[in-house]
Structure 1
Amino acid sequence: MQVYRGLILDFGGVITTDFYGALRDFSVREGLGDDAVGHVLRRTAEGRTALTGVEDGRLPQKEFEATLARLLGVDAAGLLGRILADLQPCEEVLEMVARARRKGIATAVLSNSWGTGSYDPYAGYDLEDRFDAVVISDQVRLSKPDEEIYRFTSDKMGLPPSACVFVDDTAHNLPPAERLGMAGVLFEDAPTALAQIAHLLQIN
């Protein structure tokens, strides 16, 4: 059986509670329909361009927030914080990370960000203390699913990609990691995904 010595986790929807659920809940609260944010970011050209721009650091967070507000027809003030207000730490995942580190497994966060600015979704998570490496997309001018960001992350961990397990709640982020030799885990149902990760890392 392949022995994996590294664990790479997405932030929103893996280290946190349901990311896409938070987007839907915001949309409902604002009276926009349950998929308003997802629709703007995935199915409009301007929304997609803004998202990729803020993720890889080409578009400042403030400009992304203003663009998103205009496309949604809502107030831009504090928009990102309002959208992600429901996110909380996923304690089961953080406990698994601590267990993995005690077993000598290197751990990393690999997150596509919504830019660096007045809103910091990572505040309060103590990522630098909890993980061996933290890679935030806009800070390295790369973003998932570019294969280079997966290589960059495993290099920071001191491991080849083939020694790593990569976990994300977005399906299209997995194939590039798997092409590099990583074991990909889609994080949809927490108990199922956690069991799969524990099995791959042999930390049952």
Structure 2
Amino acid sequence: MIKAIVFDFGGVVRKPGIMKHIYTAVGKKYGIDRQIVRMQFHKLEQPVITGKISMKQFWLRLGELLGVEWKGLERVWIRTYAKGVGMNKRVLQILGRIKKKGYNLSLLSNEIPSHAEFNERHGYYKSFQNVFLSHSVGLKKPDRRIFIHVLHKLKIKPADCLFIDDHVENIATAEKLGIRSILFENTSKFEKDIKNYL
């Protein structure tokens, strides 16, 4: 019996593609190919997403890697996120319907702190009773330990949890632990898929 439903954020609740917008905007601002911006970000992604380095350390190091001044980099990055972030309204409607049925709704997201702070400030997490963010937990998906952490905090067995994510590797880890899962491919398919569990 499903007692809790755990959602990914980016690509599920938040529309996909925001990082591409950011890479493009930073590249345009500084005359750098967006693939280089992406590549340098990925060098720092693991430590910043798991809270091993602070946001200031992240901006400083990324600025050094790109050869740009970090404060300007931070401004264009955050401004682009603020302008480009969009919520999937149909998914939010589905969340509302599920919540009315009495299910515990939780969020499990790999997110850098500055994005998470913006999301929190603008009420993007308000649909969820529990919010588990990689930088706070110190782990990121698909590490099995972050799923075990969530199950422990929710005080539920794997079979009582339904997990929704748009990345195959995250779904694979969850399923190995016995967590029921849905691979989010598009909203229409998700709407049909989730009915099989509720």
Place the TM-score, normalised by the shorter chain, in its bin: 0.7 to 0.9
Give the drift of 1:60. Answer: 0.2
Indicate conservation of the 8 Å contact 1:108/1:153, yes or no. no
Q: Which residue is equivalent to 1:26?
A: 22
- State the distance in 2 between where 1:117 and 1:160 align: 30
In the superposition, relative to structure 1, how do residues 34 and 76 fare at CA in structure 2: closer, same or farther (>3 Å)? Answer: closer
- State the distance in 2 between where 1:8 and 1:154 align: 10
Give the drift of 1:37. Answer: 4.3
Which has a greater percent of helix? Answer: 2
TM-score by length of 2: 0.81
Unaligned runs of 5+ in 2: none
| Structure 2 counterpart of 1:8, from 6, 9, 13 | 6
Q: Which residue is equivalent to 1:100?
A: 98
Q: Which aligned pairs between 1:111-126 and structure 2 lie closer than 5 A?
A: 111-115=109-113, 120-125=118-123
Indicate conservation of the 8 Å contact 1:137/1:143, yes or no. yes
TM-score by length of 1: 0.79
* Residue 65 (structure 1) aligned with residue 59 (structure 2): yes
| Structure 1 counterpart of 2:87, from 89, 93, 97 | 89
The SS at the match of 1:12 is coil
The SS at the match of 2:107 is strand
Task: In structure 1, give the amino acid aligned to 2:174.
Answer: A
* Residue 54 (structure 1) aligned with residue 51 (structure 2): no
Indicate conservation of the 8 Å contact 1:185/1:197, yes or no. yes
Q: Which residue is equivalent to 1:134?
A: 131
Paired positions, count: 190
Task: In structure 1, give the amino acid aligned to 2:90.
Answer: E
Indicate conservation of the 8 Å contact 1:107/1:157, yes or no. no
Give the drift of 1:119. Answer: 5.4
Q: Which aligned pairs between 1:170-181 and structure 2 lie closer than 5 A?
A: 170-181=167-178
- State the distance in 2 between where 1:34 and 1:149 align: 31
Task: In structure 1, give the amino acid aligned to 2:186.
Answer: D
Unaligned runs of 5+ in 1: none
Give the drift of 1:173. Answer: 1.9
Task: In structure 2, give the amino acid aligned to 1:39.
Answer: M
